[in-house]
Amino acid sequence: MKKHYTIQVVPEGSTRIHSYRIARVWVKLFSWLLCLAAVLLCVFIWKFTEINVQLASSWKLKADNEWLLKRHAEYEAAFANLDSIYSIEEQIQNILSTYFEENPGEFRSILDKNLHISSKKVQNDVDFEAELNMNKINLEVFPNMLPVIGGVVSRGYAEDHKAVDFVSSSNDPVHATASGRVIFAGSKDDLGNMLEIEHDNGVKTRYAHLSRFSVRNGSYVKKGEVIAFMGNTGYSTGSHLHYEILLNDVPVNPERYF
């Protein structure tokens, strides 16, 4: 049985033949080393991809943790303010009790009214926290920015005005407060030129009294994108923006999102 391979090399333009003998064991060894190198390369690529996936996941977790820590600090500050309010309320009750000792029924009526208002405010805070938890996965679709840069709030949210009005110069840009798709762009009765954008989780935003649009019906807009310009169309006494937020088609106070 042959134990060697012979390789013959004939240089171009020459008749001389160069012969090289290579032992079969070296050929087999080289083949095994080549296969081992290929296996090691595949393992390296697989491990490298796995590490990159883990790094991407850890970066996302880090961003989520930073967001949660920021929200936690905001809630801690809110609860601290709430404690001070309760302390002030207790002092007011003590003061009132000295004035209404002769008529305790009137004093109890005042306290009941304040307790009703406080319980309603606490329920609103709980509902708002639920909305935050629902949208914290993707802040791009959460309308937590002002639609007008430098605008002044001229009228707040109320039972007879379920929106917030911003006063600014005519034709000032109006920005989308969250990413979403434009589902209405046109004239809407007293609201004049109006844009309505649909976001995730049943959230919609409306922008009214606009002078003109910079996007069309059906367009997808990104958070912060200029979608229209301030105007005085519809039933309006001056250039301003009428801004609404709806949750499952029910108006909510936009100031809770700022």
**CATH no. for residue 170?**
2.70.70.10
Q: If you average pLDDT over residues 128-154, what whole number do you get?
A: 70
pLDDT tens for each residue of 80-126? 777 666 666 666 656 555 544 555 554 455 445 444 444 444 445 44
What CA–CA distances, in Å, run from 219 to 88, 182, 195? 50, 5, 11
Domain boundary among 81, 106, 139: 139
Task: Find, among 150, 192, 146, 142, the residue nearest to 167 by Cα.
Answer: 150
Q: Which residues lie below 8 Å from residue 244, measured CB to CB, with a gap of 6+?
A: 162, 163, 164, 205, 206, 208, 251, 254
> Could you tell me how many residues make up the chain?
258
- Comparing 134 with 253, which gets the higher pLDDT? 253
Q: What are the start-end ranges of the E strands in 73-190?
A: 152-155, 164-167, 173-175, 180-187
**CA–CA separation, 166 vs 244, rounded Å?**
11
Q: Which residues lie below 8 Å from residue 16, measured CB to CB, with a gap of 6+?
A: 10
Task: Find, among 238, 216, 234, the residue nearest to 225 by Cα.
Answer: 216
> What are 167's strand-pairing partners?
152, 240
What CA–CA distances, in Å, run from 61 to 54, 57, 79? 10, 6, 26
Pull the structure tokens for residue 243: 């801004």
Check whether residue 126 and residue 162 sit in a common domain: no
> What are 212's strand-pairing partners?
229
Check whether residue 54 and residue 114 sit in a common domain: no
pLDDT tens for each residue of 175-224? 999 999 999 999 998 899 999 999 988 899 999 999 999 999 999 999 99
- The total domain count for the chain is 3
Range of the domain at 32: 4-58
Check whether residue 50 and residue 93 sit in a common domain: no
